[in-house]
Amino acid sequence: MKEKNFDNVPTLLAMELYDDLASNEETVRIKAAEQLVTKILEGKNTGNAEKGTDLDYALNRLIKGLSSGRESARVGFSIALTEVTFVNYGYTEII
């Protein structure tokens, strides 16, 4: 049996943040996007990204979230994707 690789499995906190990005409440979506970007920045600045918060995983998850059928998911995921993209290319001001 092939051993499973859990290196890129998100932490519970990161999973909750992605879920909050689809919230119908605007303040919850914005707070989740801000927290996600902050975690990615922390990992980038220390060179030690935690599971589920590294840039590759976040970009993949955020892009997939853009096609979600949930009522507010597209808005939340697009906000987070925009912020992550800005941060990745040298802009550090969050939302």
Per-residue confidence at 95, pLDDT binned at 50, 70, 90? low
pLDDT in tens, 35-66: 988 887 777 666 654 544 578 888 899 999 99
Q: Across the chain, what does the average pLDDT equal?
A: 78
Per-residue confidence at 5, pLDDT binned at 50, 70, 90? very low
What are the domain boundaries of the chain? Answer: 18-88
The pTM (predicted TM-score) of the whole model is 0.74
DSSP 14: H
The set of residues, in sequence order, having a beta carbon less than 8 Å from that of 9 and lying 6+ positions away, is: 51, 52
